């Protein structure tokens, strides 16, 4: 009977062992993937925040320029609250230390991302009526060169306001499905998938 080639068997087994990733390598891959996900979420939130400031600042300047200080103060307060909300959320993200246990880190990120998505929905539903009001004010200023309060005594303006808010809410529902669930929801799903993988490997 022909003796087996022990060297060939050993080399074959050694090659198979190389192909199978170790637990440490798998954990490192999960860690790198999770950090990339969190950084992507943070960079997207920063970009959205800048777009909001760029869109809202001209409205506040226009209201101040035309002497409507009460509306301007209201818009500035809303902008300030939005800045505070953004800074608070980024502070919470930065407080989570990735140097600690990867599983605990991802669980904390998952909880925070769920809270972020909930606040995002509320913010959109508040922001849309303000956009409608701002559009009406800007349209009035663009046509007549002034902002008159007697304009609000006309029923057509109130009808336009109601229709604009309804259209804005419908748009916001579509936007929430299209963007929030597509981007943030998919990232949350990826994070929870990594959490399940890490939990199963324990």
One-letter-per-residue 3-state SS of the chain: CCCCCHHHHHHHHHHHHHHCCCHHHHHHHHHHHHHHHHHHHHHHHHHHHHHHHHHHHHHHHHHHHCCCHHHHHHHHHHHHHHHHHHHHHHHHHHHCCCCCCHHHHHHHHHHHHHHHHHHHHHHHHHHHHHHHHHHHHHHHHHHHCCCCHHHHHCHHHHHHHHHHHHHHHHHHHHHHHHHHHHHHHHHHHHHHHHHHHHHHHC
pLDDT band, residue 2 (cuts 50/70/90): very low
CA proximity to 41, closest of 99, 102, 114, 100: 114
Q: How far is CA 8 from the centre of its chain?
A: 55
pLDDT band, residue 14 (cuts 50/70/90): very low
pLDDT band, residue 45 (cuts 50/70/90): confident
Instruction: Determine the pLDDT at residue 33.
Output: 66
Tens of pLDDT, residues 170-189? 777 777 777 777 777 777 78
The mean pLDDT of 13-17, rounded to a whole number, is: 46
Contact 110, 195 (CB under 8 A): yes
The mean pLDDT of 46-65, rounded to a whole number, is: 77
CA proximity to 37, closest of 125, 105, 120: 105
In terms of residues, how long is the chain? 202
* Cα dihedral sign, 162-163-164-165: positive
The mean pLDDT of 58-66, rounded to a whole number, is: 76
* Cβ count within 10 A of residue 59: 22
Question: Using CA atoms, how far apart are residues 81 and 85, in angstroms rounded to an integer?
Answer: 6
Tens of pLDDT, residues 129-184? 777 777 777 666 666 666 666 666 777 777 877 787 787 777 777 777 777 777 77
Tens of pLDDT, residues 22-34? 545 655 665 666 6
Tens of pLDDT, residues 77-104? 878 887 888 888 777 777 776 656 777 7
Contact 66, 146 (CB under 8 A): yes
Q: How far is CA 100 from the centre of its chain?
A: 24
- Report CA Rg, the chain: 27
Instruction: Determine the pLDDT at residue 145.
Output: 65
pLDDT band, residue 15 (cuts 50/70/90): very low
């Amino acid at each position: 009977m022909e003796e087996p080639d022990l060297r060939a068997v050993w080399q074959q087994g050694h090659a198979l062992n190389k192909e199978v990733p170790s637990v440490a390598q798998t954990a490192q891959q999960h860690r790198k993937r999770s950090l990339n996900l969190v950084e992507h979420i943070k960079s997207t939130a920063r970009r959205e925040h800048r777009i909001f400031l760029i869109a809202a600042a001209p409205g506040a300047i226009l209201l101040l320029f035309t002497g409507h200080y009460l509306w301007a103060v209201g818009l500035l307060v809303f902008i300030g609250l939005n800045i505070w909300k953004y800074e608070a959320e980024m502070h919470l993200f930065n407080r989570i230390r990735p140097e600690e246990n990867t599983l605990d880190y991802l669980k904390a990120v998952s909880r925070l991302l769920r809270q972020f998505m909930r606040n995002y929905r509320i913010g959109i539903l508040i922001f849309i009526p303000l956009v409608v009001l701002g559009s009406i004010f800007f349209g009035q200023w663009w046509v007549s060169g002034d902002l008159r309060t007697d304009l609000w005594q006309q029923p057509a303006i109130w009808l336009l306001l109601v229709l604009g808010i309804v259209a804005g809410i419908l748009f916001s529902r579509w936007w929430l499905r299209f963007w929030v669930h597509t981007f943030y929801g998919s990232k949350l799903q990826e994070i929870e998938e990594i959490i399940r993988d890490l939990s199963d490997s324990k």
